[in-house]
Amino acid sequence: MPHRKPEMKAVAVPSSRLARLAQLGGLASRIAGSVAAEGALQLARGQRPRMGDLILTPANARKVADQLAQMRGAAMKVGQLISMDAGDMLPPELAQILGRLRAEAHHMPGPQLKKVLTDAWGTDWLRRFQRFDVHPVAAASIGQVHRAQTRDGRDLAIKVQYPGVRRSIDSDVDNVAALLRMAGLVPRGVDVAPMLAEAKRQLHEEADYEREGRCLARFGELLAGETAFLVPGLHADLTTPDVLAMDFVQGIPIDDLAPAPQAERNRVMTLLIDLLFRELFEFRLMQTDPNFANYRHAPDTGRVILLDFGATREFPAVLADQYRGLLQAGLHGDRPGIRAAARQIGFLAEDTPAPLERAMLEMFEMSLEPLRHNGPFDFGASDLVTRMREAAMSMSDQRDHVRLPPMDTFYLQRKFGGIYLLASRMKAQVDLRRLITPHLQQEGAP
């Protein structure tokens, strides 16, 4: 059945730093209160309560996710980033709490929306439009999207940023991180400082809609003339740091193709996986957000629609070459070559304990199975995700020695993982070896 879109609710976004801090402070107090109450009950029953069990209750999980979803902006985004990026290093309870944020959908009330647009376009902005739909067609962590028709006949999608997002980014990230630490939700062995610094940097970029517009236009140029993909056109005259105007394009969520004929699912996932390789090795420019909502499908033409370029990232040629070497070694079963390339890229450190290094190399070779497979790899029939998760959990007692890789690598792995999950959801059959081989032969390609 098609994926049901969650019903959106109008919830005002707290725009001042003080209001946002007060909401987080209130959340911490409510969690502390529930911990104390539950602890007292367990003591009364003669049980010895564990702090982790008291904190990670279903009720507290709802409180954290609901509060961050209402705040949106960086508070919501940092939860999403941690849940997706830290992977198996986080306790499953925390991953579940933060994972809920990817499905939350609230939007600004009308008066708040009007103020944002007036600040961006001036008091007479409505005169430019024949129609402007006040109810958004989509809502996310830092903005919401409206459909509109201009008086000169353009059919547009208008992305409007929530008020206060940009100026609250640094404090939101710090406050959410402090909340998670105080609640004991982040394992002591995980150094989240690089992740938080990167979250701030990425959020400042994503909150600049003029930058996103430039990335949108650049991808449009890179894929110009290709009938397989559709990138909405940018409308620079209506784009500001807080508002992004682009063509409105009709399509269905990409994962609605799950019940489509096998051949169509194979075709679409072959396109997306090939684009992923092209982004790394040919463009060296990648849209790194693996959210399924960033891909749609046009049923009338079969084109794949690409959306949301806020998380676009450039990669240096040296990183592409390092990945080329890593994949070449992996495809040939060259364990010393894999180890050397993994150290260059930053997966392994000089002080990584030998047992952990061996386990990580085995896990990496496992992840290469789809690329090493001769002919179409059946994502739907593979148990690779389960085996990878079990392998990661077997290393949980060595979390103190796990180090986050460099941020470029971090984002690449996040995109690889997201595309793999989408292919699994679609039960696609794709010949990955055929797709990757040409790129591995282009040493030092521009």
- Distance, CA of 168 to CA of 190 (rounded, Å): 25
- Distance, CA of 163 to CA of 171 (rounded, Å): 15
Residue 433, classed as helix, strand or coil, is helix
Domains and CATH numbers, the chain: 9-104+169-190 (no CATH), 109-161+208-249 (3.30.200.20), 250-446 (no CATH)
Residue 298, classed as helix, strand or coil, is coil
Place of tokens 């991808």: 219
- Sign of the alpha-carbon dihedral angle for 93, 98, 99, 103: positive
Residue 293, classed as helix, strand or coil, is helix
Catalytic annotation present for 289: yes
Q: What is the H or E stretch that residue 61 is in?
A: helix 58-71
What are φ and ψ of residue 155, in 5° steps?
Answer: -100, 110
Q: Which member of 88, 172, 242, 289 is catalytic?
A: 289
* Residue at 268: amino acid letter: V
Axis-axis angle for helices 165-182, 17-44 (nearest 10): 20
| Conformational region of residue 226, where left means phi above 0, alpha means psi within -120 to 50, and beta covers everything else | beta
Q: What is the pLDDT along the chain (446 residues), one digit of tens a residue?
A: 444 444 555 545 444 444 444 444 444 444 444 444 444 344 444 444 343 443 445 555 555 555 555 544 555 555 555 544 444 444 455 555 555 444 445 678 888 899 999 999 999 999 999 999 999 988 776 788 999 999 999 999 999 998 888 887 887 777 777 766 665 555 555 566 777 787 788 888 888 999 999 999 999 999 998 999 999 999 999 999 999 999 999 999 998 998 999 999 999 999 999 999 999 999 999 999 878 889 999 999 999 999 999 989 999 999 999 999 999 998 888 889 998 998 898 888 777 788 888 888 888 888 888 998 999 999 999 888 788 777 776 665 555 556 667 788 888 888 998 898 899 989 999 999 999 999 987 554 43
